[in-house]
Amino acid sequence: MIFTYILGSGYLSDNLRKKIALSKVFSAKNFIKNINSINRKKKINLIINSSYSVNKLNYFHSYKALINKSIFEISKILDLLNPSIINKIIYTSSSSVYGSISSDKDTTEHNNRGIYAALKLSVESMIKNFCYKNNVKLSICRVFNMYGRNDNFSIIKKLDLARKNKFKLTIYNKGNSIRDFVHVDDVAAIYKNLLKNNTFFKVYDIGTGKGLNIIEIINKVKINRDNIVFEKKKVKETYLAVANNKNIKKIFKKKFKSVESYFGILNKFNYINKSNKNFVERN
């Protein structure tokens, strides 16, 4: 079997390590420190989750730190890594890139999401260029709103904490924006399947293909309204962000975990089955 290196210390990396045999999580810095021994391997897979922490995005103060974690460390790895040993690269991008390629340039500027999305798109292009030049298989995964397990940041987690009276959550635009929520277990299973897939290059939306708005969750889960603050000022944001998972369904045959099961409720949510069909790259 081929050894898999997982770059990045987030909770997706931790869940991938548990799911994928012969795998190890490295920070980008430690991977670079060990590059000489890694370059002596026969074949490896590389999953790049390394990125600037979304948790810090709302209040970052250093563009240098942002660029370093988002692009520079990854570019250094590509410069130092022996391409002949690479079986496949999976790059964890974000559904936020659709704001960068949208005709409405203002939709992603709230909470520094615009620059985050643009950097993700830039790294996609850089890794794609590297893989084409060196004949390396590549899967770019644009992950939608991930939640579950040891997550401590997602809106789903925050809603759960608000339900338990442990968190007061601010909601923008009356909670009407539609989002695709995908469980980390399903994401990890998809990545595991992608490592076995021999497609040379493909972009994947990683999501359920079904959307929910926040107000629907608040109402159905019966969250105490004292723990919800509705921001009166409107914020420009993408109204619809739902995965076009046509490509994923070819390699992931299981039923996606539901948000209902996460909250432990029997009432079904009213999902919106409308995806970003015009956005997914065709190849």
All structural domains of the chain, each given as residue ranges with its CATH number in brackets, are: 3-263 (3.40.50.720)
Q: Distance between alpha carbon 199 and the CA centroid of its chain, in Å?
A: 21
> Over the stretch 160-217, which tens digit does the pLDDT of each residue have?
999 999 989 999 889 999 999 999 999 999 999 999 999 999 999 999 999 999 999 9
Q: Rounded to the nearest 5°, which phi and psi values hold at 244?
A: -95, 90
Strand partners, 171: 230
DSSP 42: S
Quote the tokens at residue 136. 């390396």
Residue 235 to residue 39: CA distance in whole angstroms: 47
Which residue is listed with tokens 């660029």? 67
From the CA atom positions of the chain, what is the Rg in Å? 19
CA distances from 244 to 32, 105, 193, 203, 275 (A): 35, 21, 18, 11, 5
**What backbone phi and psi angles, to 5 degrees, belong to 165?**
60, 35
Phi and psi angles of residue 55, each rounded to the nearest 5 degrees, phi first: -60, -30
Determine phi and psi for 109, rounding to 5 degrees: -85, -15
Q: How many CB atoms lie within 10 A of CB 68?
A: 15
Query: For residue 108, is pLDDT > 70?
Result: no
> 230-277, pLDDT tens digit by residue?
988 887 777 889 999 889 988 999 999 999 999 999 888 999 887 665
